[in-house]
Amino acid sequence: MIDTTPLVKKLGAFVALSDAELSVLATLLKRRRSFVAGRDLVHQGQSDQAAYILASGWACSYKLLEDGQRQIVDFQIPGDFLGLRSVLLHVSDHSIEPVTDIEVTEIHVADLLEAFAHTPRLATAVLWAASRDEAMVVEHLVDVGRRNAAERMAHFLLELAARLFLIGQGDRTGFACPLTQYHLADALGLSAVHVNRVLRQLREEGMVTFRDGLVTFDDYARLAEFAQFDPSYMDQANPLLR
Amino acid sequence: MIDTTPLVKKLGAFVALSDAELSVLATLLKRRRSFVAGRDLVHQGQSDQAAYILASGWACSYKLLEDGQRQIVDFQIPGDFLGLRSVLLHVSDHSIEPVTDIEVTEIHVADLLEAFAHTPRLATAVLWAASRDEAMVVEHLVDVGRRNAAERMAHFLLELAARLFLIGQGDRTGFACPLTQYHLADALGLSAVHVNRVLRQLREEGMVTFRDGLVTFDDYARLAEFAQFDPSYMDQANPLLR
DNA sequence: CGGGTCGTTGACGCTCTTCAAAGCACGTGG
DNA sequence: CCACGTGCTTTGAAGAGCGTCAACGACCCG
């Protein structure tokens, strides 16, 4: 089943799943759905019964404040869960917006929890995936709490590149990036105006160029040094559970 | 087993655990250990085989940057896991420091994963606990990314109060708080000097007083309004899985 | 009594936000 | 085919928020 490839690859990085386990995973996948860019899939406060796995396109999860400000918590790329936390908790604590047009595969919570009973290793794999997601949110918190605007931007772009590389999109020279400067601002806790200035600075210093939907690393090594980028938190090593 | 009470209470909020499941949980708990304040339990980069459940005292998990700055990701109070993410991922992406002298109960990862095979509902409960922890990190990210210093402080103190209330420590009038202003600064992405100024401001405006290890809510309603505090993300509702 | 940790306060300046305006690429309708 | 709107980017100027530096006081424990 082609849909599952990015997910299986991701879960397989932690738990070597058997054919039987993979087929259980396949039965969880219900219908395929499409959503258009900019129209929320999930609203803050909504009660859900379904989560999704992103098949193609980019999405972002965010929280809105009463005064209209928003904080983007994370971006999702193919293979990532959408709204897994929403269904485990009783109500969604965040909203999800497709950044581009996206395709997703639906999963019902009840099915997922039921599957854990017969396929405990699957539960372990999902717990690992959730931990990895949390590790990325944590690194994001460090970004926003303790790095200045330029370091924050550099670190963020390097993290995105590393995640995209894992699913075969982009390399050390750069990647295609559908985000606007407003997305970057809301993710990094900056104003859009300042995002623009920081991008200019990084470009003029010959480290990275963000233009026309393309991120180009002009000097990857220097950028990584500048951002103090250490990808070990993404846990892209070998399976722990064999 | 008295040790497990806060944990069982927490997990029970999501999954009504049977006596059999509770006894499995009890067998996971190995020896009791104590650590003194200020001496790290877990170091960033360390490979672990054990996680802990906090029985008494406060701890914090944090990440250090190369230039010596630190970001505190979360504080742990009795009933919380310590280092669960460290053992699911291959290496710890953070350090853990006891804020006070603490007592913990050790759990071996291998045992925990093994228990999932026989007690899948336990896996679900642990996945829920991990999701709830993630939700708190996410709210913390919103704090640091989009709230000013005073709102951030107010929101943070209200969240702590709500968590402590769940385990029977503190109420709407306030709580005992062993944190220093340096802890608050490292958690909120501020300087210790500015933390002091913000605390003075909140105190002079009659909303909350932080003094001598005690947080006193002088006007809870106004503080909650000021911080736009909405505790729903902590998911303190009824069990989803019965 | 002396040193260490924590809290407190003032002065100064940098980072980042806000406000304002203009340019570019696009799609849409006349 | 051009006028017009809309979303995104770009740039400047002014000022607020918060960090840094520096100093001092309170308390605890050796």
What three-state secondary structure class fits B214? strand
Is residue A115 located within the same domain as residue A226?
no
Encoding tokens for residue B144?
């640091």
Number of domains in chain B: 2
Shortest Cα distance, chain A CAs vs residue B101, angstroms: 25
In a domain, A138, yes or no: no
pLDDT of residue B4: 54
Is residue A205 located within the same domain as residue A106?
no
In a domain, A191, yes or no: yes
Contact by Cβ (8 Å): A36, A101: yes
Contact by Cβ (8 Å): A104, A55: yes
Contact by Cβ (8 Å): B70, B48: no
Nucleic acid strand C within 7 Å of B211 CB: yes
Strand C close residues, chain A 135-154, CB < 7 angstroms: 148-150
Instruction: Give Cα B200 distance to the centre of its chain.
Output: 25
Is residue B158 located within the same domain as residue B46?
no
Is residue B33 located within the same domain as residue B151?
no
pLDDT of residue B47: 85
Nucleic acid strand C within 7 Å of B192 CB: yes
What pairing do the DSSP bridges indicate for beta strands B208-211 and B81-82?
unpaired
In a domain, B239, yes or no: no
pLDDT of residue A190: 97
Is residue A161 located within the same domain as residue A110?
no
In a domain, A41, yes or no: yes
B185 CB-side CA count, 13 A? 13
Is residue A6 located within the same domain as residue A92?
yes
B143 burial (CB, 10 Å; 0-12 / 13-18 / 19+) is buried
Query: Do B71 and A146 make contact, defined as CB atoms within 8 angstroms?
Result: yes
CB of A163 less than 8 A from some CB of B: no
Is residue B128 located within the same domain as residue B152?
no
In a domain, B242, yes or no: no
> The domain spanning residue B41 has which CATH number?
2.60.120.10
pLDDT tens by residue, B27-63: 888 799 999 999 998 888 888 778 999 999 999 999 9
Kindly indicate the confidence band of residue A183, based on its pLDDT and cuts at 50, 70 and 90: very high
pLDDT of residue B220: 97
Average pLDDT, chain A: 89
Average pLDDT value for residue range A174-192: 97
A14, A117, A135 member nearest B85 (Cβ): A135
Whether the per-residue pLDDT at B150 is higher than 80: the answer is yes
Which one is predicted more confidently, B213 or A233? B213
Domain range for residue A193? 147-234
In a domain, B112, yes or no: yes
Among chain A residues, the shortest Cα distance to B44 is held by: A233
Is residue A108 located within the same domain as residue A198?
no
**Final residue belonging to a domain, choices B105, B135, B165:** B135
- A205 vs A192: CA distance, rounded Å: 20
- A170 vs B236: CA distance, rounded Å: 42
Is residue B19 located within the same domain as residue B106?
yes
Contacts of B142 in chain A (CB under 8 A): 63, 65, 71, 73
CB of A140 less than 8 A from some CB of B: yes
**Final residue belonging to a domain, choices A133, A157, A174:** A133
In a domain, B15, yes or no: yes
Instruction: Give Cα B87 distance to the centre of its chain.
Output: 17
Q: Which of A28-32, A224-228, B65-69, B232-236 has the lowest mean pLDDT?
A: B232-236
Q: Report the first-to-last Cα separation within chain B, whole angstroms.
A: 23
Positions of chain D reached by protein Cβ under 7 A? 7-13, 17-22
Is residue A156 located within the same domain as residue A49?
no
In a domain, A140, yes or no: no
Sign of CA dihedral B230, B232, B233, B236: positive
Instruction: Give Cα A102 distance to the centre of its chain.
Output: 14
Residue with tokens 């990440």: B63
**Final residue belonging to a domain, choices B108, B135, B162:** B135
